[in-house]
Amino acid sequence: MSSQADFDELLAVLDLDRLDDDTFVGSHPSKNPVRTFGGQMMAQAFVAASRSLRHPTPPSALSVHFIAGGDPALDLEFHVVRLRDERRFANRRVDVMQKGQLLTTAMVSYLSGGKGLEHGVEPPPLDDPLTVPPIDDLLRGYEQVVPHFANASRPIEWRYTNDPAWIMRDKGEKLTHNRVWMKAHGALPDDPVLHTAAMVYSSDTTVLDSIITTHGLSWGHDRIFAVTTNHSVWFHRQVRFDDWVLYSTTSPVAADSRGLGTGHFFDRSGLPLATVVQEGIVKHFPGRVTASG
């Protein structure tokens, strides 16, 4: 399947079926991991919350806790709870369910604050995204090392500004940051909810990489178990996700088999668009992966 077809499928899964004012149903794409991709659930939950607003209000924050894994063979139900509904402020809780089981709970805040003080974290060096190779070039020759990446759905275009983990590992290096240019693999509708949802979807990719690259490890090469436990996004400015944005991530701490990945999205001019913090359980079992796994 082409990247354009993968992008069309992403738009389809973000186009939730509305059963009533506060209940939505979402599908899965045709290519899935063993469990529902967390970024997909977060993006769909954000869409459900946003479609329930009485007044169009920009989002300010999203906080998600993952409780159980989803089955890609089944649709997802999104139950919206209206916690606050005013002209400039709104709060929603979205419970993601399957067959009566709670998979994920998302809290979404909306705030129209208006003009005020402004400052922001300085962006890293912003190489032109068209001067760095696309992800397919970086996967060539590593299809058997990281098959989950090589065979994954590609609705979002990725362009690393540094060596990804699997190449870094081959070079025997370590890296305390990861920086990836991203944009949708097609033109998004002129709907800010969908542009933000695409960013939320993408925020669940590469953010834990710096936990392992800090130690010179890589998915595929090394025996690593990783699962996300919670994920938060703070929205600073409206994103246009069919133009390039830079996702710059680091890991400030890892302890007790848990690690934090933190990141910022920047537009091409260097303005910070969003801040991300994700916690994951990350376990490393020393000894390289063999052909038999």
Can you give the pLDDT at residue 201? 98
- % of residues, the chain, pLDDT over 90: 89
Residue 69 lies in a domain: yes
State the maximum Cα–Cα separation within the chain, in Å, rounded to a whole number.
58
Structural domains counted in the chain:
1
Residue 252 belongs to domain with CATH number: 2.40.160.210
Given a contact cutoff of 8 angstroms between Cβ atoms, the answer to whether 62 and 42 are in contact is yes
CA pair distance 14, 18, nearest whole angstrom = 12
Which pLDDT does position 114 carry in this prediction?
A: 86
Residue 292 has pLDDT above 80, yes or no: no
Q: Does residue 226 fall inside a structural domain?
A: yes
> Does some domain include residue 68?
yes
Q: Could you read off the pLDDT of 173-228 as tens digits, one per residue? A: 999 999 999 999 999 999 999 999 999 999 999 999 999 999 999 998 999 999 99
- The reply to whether 119 falls in a domain is no
* pLDDT tops 50 at residue 93: yes
- Please state the rounded mean pLDDT for residues 57-68: 97
Per the CB < 8 A criterion, the answer to whether 108 and 91 are in contact is yes
| Nearest partner of 108 among 54, 56, 45, 55, judged by Cα | 45
Taking residues 224-245, report their average pLDDT. Answer: 96
β-strand partners of 79 = 23, 95
State yes or no: pLDDT of 147 exceeds 70.
yes
Domain membership of residue 10 as a residue range: 3-112+129-288
Residue range 154-163, pLDDT digits in tens: 999 999 999 9
Starting at the edge strand found earlier in the chain, the sheet holding 76-85 runs 17-20, 23-26, 76-85, 89-98, 101-111, 59-66, 222-235, 272-288, 258-266, 245-255, 177-184, 156-160
Which of 41-50, 149-158, 221-230 ranks highest by mean pLDDT? 41-50
Banded model confidence at residue 92, pLDDT cuts 50, 70, 90:
very high
Q: Does residue 117 lie within any of the structural domains? A: no
Closest CA to 59 of 105, 96, 112, 12: 112
